Structure 1
Amino acid sequence: MSNIDLSIGGRSFKVACAAGEEEHVASLGRMIDAKVASVPGAAGQSEARMLLFASLMLADEVHEAQNRSGSVPAPQAPVADPALAERLEALAATLEKCATALEA
Structure 2
Amino acid sequence: MAEIMLQIAGRPYQLRCRDGEEAHMAHLAQIIEDKAYQAQRSTPGLTEVRTLLFAALFMADELNELKRAAAGRQEQLALDGDDEPAARAVEALAARVEKLSEALAARAADA
TM bracket (short chain):
0.5 to 0.7
What residue is the counterpart of 1:68 in the other structure?
Answer: 69
| Whole-angstrom distance in 2 between the partners of 1:59 and 1:24 | 19
| Whole-angstrom distance in 2 between the partners of 1:59 and 1:34 | 14
| Whole-angstrom distance in 2 between the partners of 1:47 and 1:17 | 24
SS of the residue corresponding to residue 70 of structure 1 reads helix
Q: Which has the higher helix share?
A: 2
Instruction: Within 5 Å, give how 1:11-90 maps onto structure 2.
Output: 11-39=11-39, 40-41=42-43, 44-70=45-71
Matched-pair identity in %: 39
Q: Which runs of 5+ in 2 are unaligned?
A: 73-111
The offset of 1:47, in angstroms, is 1.8
Q: Which amino acid aligns with 1:41?
A: T
Which has the higher Rg, Structure 1 or Structure 2? 2
> In the comparison of the two structures, how many residue pairs are matched?
70
Instruction: Within 5 Å, give how 1:88-103 maps onto structure 2.
Output: none
Q: Which runs of 5+ in 1 are unaligned?
A: 72-104
Instruction: State the TM-score, normalized to the length of structure 2.
Output: 0.58
